[in-house]
Amino acid sequence: MRMMNRRHFLLSAAAATTLPHLRSLAQAPAATLSLHPDRPGPKVPANFVGLSYETQQLSDPTFFTPANTGLVARLRELAPHGVLRLGGNTSDYGFWKPTPTSVAPPRPKRPYKVGDPPPDLSYAVTPEAVRNLHGFLEATGWTCLYGINLGTNTPQLAADEAAFVAKTLGPRLEYFQIGNEADRFGSTIRDPKLTGHPWNADAYLNEWLTFTKAILARVPNAKFGLPDVASNAEWITAVGDRLQNNPIREHVACITHHYYIGGPPSNPQMTIERILKADSRVPRDAALVRASAAKLHTGYRMSEGNTCYRGGKPGVSDVFAAALWSADYMLLLASLGYAGVNLHGGDAQMVANSLGGTLPGDAIVLAEHGNPSEHPHPYYTPVAHIGDKYLLEPVAFGMRFAGLFAGATVVPVDFNPGNVNATAYAAKHPDGTTVVAVINKDLSQNLPLNLPGFHAEYALTAPAANARQASLMRTTQASLTHVLPHTSAAIFRSRG
């Protein structure tokens, strides 16, 4: 225990010869882990874990309702206090329908672009759907990031919808998000060849301010997240630069952006090995996001993302490797100060609609003579609806693993796993105990460890990286403090 009380302590690898049945591990380089409790990092919010669903899901008022007990149970299992984000590609194609005679605003014709919703997609969001959403959030204990159409909407309709949503959801509403991936509008909804006007960050902010002011006129205390970009980091910087001296910054609750490792599913480079590799884009973009948020004195969140864009890739997004990825990615973002992470998924048809009507991953399964109905749809979804049951998919088990850091304060670490593909994170809980998460993403090499003063508390395991299953269980397995098997993860807690 004396080591636990030091302001800096070193946990070094043990000699594998002390475990005869694990002697093969002696070939692995020594792993060292240094904790720095004297330099506390950010606090991980209680609602750090989140899901992202298509806004079009609201066109079915029976989906987000307390009567959908299977989905309620899965969200409660995933996190006791999570954040449900409604957005996605379909977010900019719906319209507020407060009465049976309400109609969608007119929109110009434009050609279809692969990977986007059909240009003529139109659906209604009704008061019934929003009231049911409130009941669903109450049943789950979750809150909501509510997406409002920017692409094919009017400021007046947006304000009308926001007023009803704010009144109905009350404290279950975190903030509004106006527009989804507007940095991609230039090739779709705001194509300069069709509009005759350039589309860039300034053009987006001009429209965003018009909608925001209309909503604030109806909901004076409304909060907003932006710019919710797909990948254009320059827009994140532009938001901070332009709004830092604008009084409206007081209403900005979060700087938001998306993240997918790559894609589409047909891309041969989208492999298990790819998703388990470190991505230098993550800390680089985080620095830009953090700088922009600092200018507005606000937080930042990854509001939509997953492994493979366009619905996920079978054999990559729906297997245990995705659990190791989500655990590592979410804890990395927690260590970088993010307010939360929303992994995208949901109902198969809604995600298919967001991509033009089909899930590209189905073609891969069919080419291998498989049955797409036996897979989660979409393939990357954390919560799958298969038959009459809602099930947590492997990627969700990684989310639960990361969620065990919720409410704790990050403890910076220096970790050297040698040539093993592994990562480590640490945090101190309010009860004074320290937890260390070690994630061994290596497909063949075990990781020797020696963690004095710690005991194993949880283990994230599966038969193999490509297994269509995952397990997150409490454990008392003492050997985990000496060696972490390849393709697994564990959380260790300090004694006392």
Do 489 and 330 meet the contact criterion of CB atoms below 8 Å apart? no
pLDDT per position as a tens digit, 59-76: 999 999 999 999 999 999
Whether 164 shows a pLDDT value over 60: the answer reads yes
Q: How many CB atoms lie within 10 A of CB 375?
A: 24
What is the number of residues in the chain?
Answer: 496
pLDDT at 450: 85
Element (H, E) at 491: strand 488-494
- 33 has which bridge partners? 11, 415
Q: How confident is the model at residue 8 (pLDDT cuts 50, 70, 90)?
A: very low
CATH topology of domain 49-403: TIM Barrel (3.20.20)
Q: Can the peptide bond before residue 264 be classed as cis, meaning omega within 30 degrees of 0?
A: yes
pLDDT at 369: 83
d(CA 92, CA 158): 11
Token output for 448: 């020797």
pLDDT per position as a tens digit, 240-261: 999 999 999 999 999 999 999 9
Percent of the chain with pLDDT over 70: 94
User: What pTM, to 2 d.p., does this model score?
Assistant: 0.93
Q: How confident is the model at residue 435 (pLDDT cuts 50, 70, 90)?
A: very high
Closest CA relative to residue 465, chosen from 262, 277, 261, 276: 276
d(CA 12, CA 24): 18
Closest CA relative to residue 327, chosen from 409, 382, 280: 382
pLDDT per position as a tens digit, 285-325: 999 999 999 999 999 999 999 999 999 999 999 999 999 99
d(CA 396, CA 411): 24
pLDDT at 336: 98
* Residue 14: partners with Cβ closer than 8 Å, 6 or more residues away: 448, 449, 450, 482
pLDDT at 30: 64
d(CA 13, CA 32): 6
* Residue 171: partners with Cβ closer than 8 Å, 6 or more residues away: 143
Q: What is the DSSP string of 146-159?
A: EEE--TT--HHHHH
Whether 271 shows a pLDDT value over 90: the answer reads yes
Domain over 9-43+408-494 is classified CATH 2.60.40.1180: yes
Whether 24 shows a pLDDT value over 80: the answer reads no
Q: At what angle do helices 281-296 and 233-243 cross, to 10 degrees?
A: 10
d(CA 411, CA 409): 6
pLDDT at 496: 57
Q: Can the peptide bond before residue 106 be classed as cis, meaning omega within 30 degrees of 0?
A: no
What residue spans define the domains of the chain? 9-43+408-494, 49-403
Q: Mean pLDDT for the chain?
A: 92
CA atoms within 13 A on the CB side of 180: 29
Whether 468 shows a pLDDT value over 70: the answer reads yes
Exposed e or buried b per residue across 89-103, where buried means at least 16 C-beta atoms within 10 angstroms of its C-beta: bbbbbbbbbeeeeee
* Residue 435: partners with Cβ closer than 8 Å, 6 or more residues away: 404, 405, 408, 426, 427, 428, 429, 457, 491, 492, 493, 494
d(CA 34, CA 414): 5
Do 25 and 483 meet the contact criterion of CB atoms below 8 Å apart? yes
Alpha helices in 127-280 (DSSP H): 127-140, 155-169, 192-195, 201-218, 233-243, 272-275
Q: CB burial class (10 A; 0-12, 13-18, 19+) of residue 120?
A: exposed
- 63 has which bridge partners? none
Strand-by-strand arrangement of the 32-35 sheet: 9-12, 32-35, 413-416
Least confident of 17-31, 256-270, 447-461: 17-31
pLDDT at 29: 57
Closest CA relative to residue 63, chosen from 148, 125, 1: 125
pLDDT per position as a tens digit, 362-375: 999 999 988 888 88
Beta strand extents in 345-482 (DSSP E only): 383-386, 389-392, 409-411, 413-416, 422-428, 434-440, 447-448, 454-461, 471-474
Q: In degrees rounded to 5, what are phi and psi of residue 243?
A: -100, -5
pLDDT at 35: 95
- 386 has which bridge partners? 389
Q: Can the peptide bond before residue 227 be classed as cis, meaning omega within 30 degrees of 0?
A: yes
Do 174 and 102 meet the contact criterion of CB atoms below 8 Å apart? no
pLDDT per position as a tens digit, 127-150: 999 999 999 999 999 999 999 999
Pairing of strands 173-178, 224-229: parallel
Average pLDDT over residues 381-390: 93
Whether 11 shows a pLDDT value over 80: the answer reads no
